[in-house]
Structure 1
């Protein structure tokens, strides 16, 4: 189902969509080598961080510092990109004293602080307090451009994940009134924790489960497009800051799918559509599974009660035509047509695309999924998982637990 996009734009003027303005944008990038280098600190060295670093380096004015508890692995995988990637820095976001020496005098700080699973205390310590620590260090370090990557679907704060994300957003916007928040929907791409994970699960399980009919709606967004948006909003160009400072960028992809649709798409591209099924289970079954699985070491089978609860809500951009839409929201498609990313060509951002179909600048799941799931997909562990020092559980152990609980719920008949 394609997303319908209103023709109106939240930006103050559409004149900059002209060819002359785009020409100035790209001319400024082309002459960047003669300008002062900018130091940008990326806090968080996981899945999204790798793409953000590459997007930033595409502008020759930028130098990038990867900062996290263990940034060396990501640094090693990217150091071939050249001397724009500065030596990595080890930090602990729960210890403010480790942050300021790295962030001091940076031109921009991008916070990717976040976890997907954990205890209430871990969410508070890492997402809420850790995010606040990054925001405060940026303030003390004299940083002018501050960007936080958050998530769509957290309004209301029904889970520890959502509550702590919202608290961190509040801290960034209070400490830095011109900070920009980027809220992506479900992020996909090589190395993701969703499509790659379920494609692998489908090799072990006879079916992929959805809860409550799988009717909740998602707007999957390509990680490369999210990275482009982060590159744009981290600029210190006065025109960019004027348009995105203090705003929330809602980052949804070009299409909307139900959760059931996403499972079917996964099976299709994994080459398993004729051999595996999508089965709907009641939410209470998911809560029971989550109760047990969240207590076991994290693995590709891990699901928590909070994650099941989040599946009750849609995860999409707000409708531009909704009169109750907050005035501080900007769509990623509008952003990228208004300010072309540094690593693109003008042909991708034509006037026709900007005016008639802004979402044509975004990649869909059908463009990207065939490149990394299926028979040619890697069989190793899903990259980018946050283990927090815990050892992963064995596949056999977790598979047996999932099957046992599903059988007890009466949805799979145990073998005699």
Structure 2
């Protein structure tokens, strides 16, 4: 595994680059709680990330939050104990523009979490591309001043429908809202995720965990709570914040870089299965065969698609700021949170130490968080945050049988290579 660590000098340079023209407020929180006017923030998307974003926003007493999605009631019910900062939810359909505008009228900020992980090319176009465009246009029509879109790292090439439609949505936001901020997370993890929790569960049934092409592609897993903190920061209407993040892309990678094989080993380790399960490399073409069959079945925790396998060929990490061709519109999440501490953070020495020594110290690593939700502390219920979009889930027995069959075929194929 590769550890991403900055030197003290590069940390200072990086942080200074984010905060040119800053004032003596450098190491103080900009979220000053006072008798200021309440801000209405609409969060569009009620899945895994949405729950953390809502809690991060509510940590600033000036914010009120509206959860808006096709089915926001479940998330609203799970969070309503947080108090009256959580306003009644709004039912919207992002494919129908007329349903979006009423929910965001009078909003001070809109957070778009529009996205799916699996689906047909047409579903990606309808939901991610056109749905994202509809949200951007509605925010424009409503006169919303702060607009934030959560996108994804590793999409620049646009090699899959997922990547192409994410890029198309980003273009709409940046065209309609030049001061909007795009947040591109790497692999997002935390209780309720669809990666570590999913593979820990799969490892209980499968004889081994497969990686494709040697599992050499690199990832920079980022804790969902840190992504939520970044959303809270960039959604502020504080002029200093807007001047620094308006029109920018925040690259959100965690404190460490791992290969895909590393991530599978880490999963087995925390699941208590390291001595009983292997990580085996298979050719990419075997993954395409698995995806060909599994993507045709109803979505479940066993689902894998050919496009997801294809995406594993590319690294999913932040761009290198030392690269002469590094885009000028990119900001690191670590530098962002060092410069503008989250509303629920006691700052001063915390941010000072990060700026002087290692800005990545403001972020949680997989080793900090994974023990809290896989292994002995694993969730006993289904993985939350699944986005089914009307599709029925497959029975566990049916899907398990299919996955085992394909995995066995893959293993036989490997022995012939």
> Residue 364 of structure 1 aligns with which residue?
365
* In the alignment, structure 1 residue 243 sits paired with structure 2 residue 250: no
Conserved 8 A contact 2:5-2:360: no
The worse-fitting range, judged by mean Cα deviation, of 66-75 and 274-283 is: 274-283
| Cα displacement (A) at 1:164 | 0.0
Matches of 1:89 and 1:76, distance apart in 2: 13
Alignment partner, residue 406 of structure 1: 407
Q: Name the SS of the counterpart of 1:151 in structure 2.
A: coil
Runs of 4+ in structure 1 deviating by more than 4 angstroms, as ranges, are: none
1:217 is aligned to 2:222: no
Q: Which has the higher contact order (CA 8 A, sep 6+)?
A: 2
Cα deviation, residue 403, structure 1: 2.0
Q: What's the offset of the Cα at 1:410? A: 4.3
What does residue 330 of structure 1 align with?
331
**TM superposition score normalised by structure 1:** 0.95
Contact 2:209 / 2:264 at 8 angstroms: preserved in 1?
yes
Matched, 1:76 2:77: yes
CA deviation map 1:72-106 (0-9, x unaligned): 00000000000000000000000000011111120
Select between 351-360 and 68-77 the one with higher mean Cα deviation. 351-360
Q: Which residue of 2 aligns with 1:200?
A: 201
In structure 1, the residue matched to 2:379 is 378
Partner Cα distance (1:387, 1:141) in 2: 29
| In 2: Cα distance, 1:245 partner to 1:287 partner | 40
Deviation sequence 1:151-194 (CA, Å, 0-9, x none) = 00000100000000000000000000000000000000000000
Judged with a 3 Å threshold, the aligned counterparts in structure 2 of structure 1 residues 326 and 21 are, in CA distance, closer, same or farther, namely closer
Question: Within 2, Cα distance between the matches of 1:195 and 1:14?
Answer: 41
Any conservation in 1 of the 2:33–2:62 contact (CA below 8 Å)? no
TM-fit CA distance, 1:379: 2.5
Cross-structure match for 1:349: 350
- State whether residues 341 and 351 of structure 2, in contact with CA within 8 Å, keep that contact through their aligned partners in structure 1: no
Say how many residue pairs are matched: 408
Deviation at 1:362, TM superposition (A): 0.3
SS of 1:257's partner is strand
Aligned to 1:118: 119
SS state at 1:278 partner:
strand
In structure 2, the residue matched to 1:268 is: 269
Rounded Cα–Cα distance in structure 2 between residues aligned with 1:42 and 1:214: 35
1:382-413 superposed Cα distances (whole Å, 9 cap, x missing partner)? 11111111111122211211222233334389
- In the alignment, which residue of structure 2 is the partner of 1:29? 32
Alpha-carbon shift at residue 21 of structure 1 (Å): 4.0
Counterpart contact for 1:348–1:361, Cα < 8 Å? no
Q: How much has 1:347 moved relative to structure 2? A: 4.9
Residue equivalent to 2:18: 11
Query: Quick one: distance in 2 between partners of 1:349 and 1:389?
Result: 45
Tell me how far apart the structure 1 counterparts of residues 381 and 106 of structure 2 sit (CA, whole Å). 40
**Structure 2 length as normaliser, TM-score?**
0.95
Q: Give the gaps of 5 or more residues in structure 2.
A: none
Secondary structure in 1 aligned to 2:32? helix
The 5-angstrom pairing of residues 56-205 of structure 1 reads 56-205=57-206
Alignment root-mean-square deviation, CA? 1.6
State the secondary structure of the residue aligned to 2:211: strand
Cα deviation per residue 1:200-221 (whole Å; 9 max; x = unaligned)?
0001111111000100000000
Alignment partner of 2:131: what SS? helix
Looking at structure 1, the residues matched to 294 and 409 of structure 2 have their Cα atoms a distance apart, in angstroms, of: 15
Contact 2:282 2:410 in 1 (8 A): no
How many angstroms apart in 1 are the aligned matches of 2:65 and 2:210? 41
* Cα 1:328/1:390, change in 2 over 3 Å: same
Cα-to-partner distance string for 1:321-351 (whole Å, 9 max, x where unaligned)? 0111100000000000000100111156331
Q: d(CA) in 1 for partners of 2:393 and 2:351?
A: 47
Contact 1:45 1:74 in 2 (8 A): yes
2:143 & 2:348 partners in 1: Cα distance?
A: 38
Contact 2:42–2:65, Cα closer than 8 Å, also in 1: yes
- Alignment partner of 2:412: what SS? coil
Gaps of 5+ in 1: none
Q: For the Cα contact (< 8 Å) 1:406–1:412, is it kept in 2?
A: no
Give the equivalent residue in structure 1 for 2:314: 313
> Which whole-Å CA distance do the structure 2 matches of 1:212 and 1:380 have between them?
32
Q: Any conservation in 1 of the 2:94–2:134 contact (CA below 8 Å)?
A: yes
Which string of whole-angstrom CA distances, capped at 9 and with x for unpartnered residues, describes residues 53-74 of structure 1? 0000000000000000000000
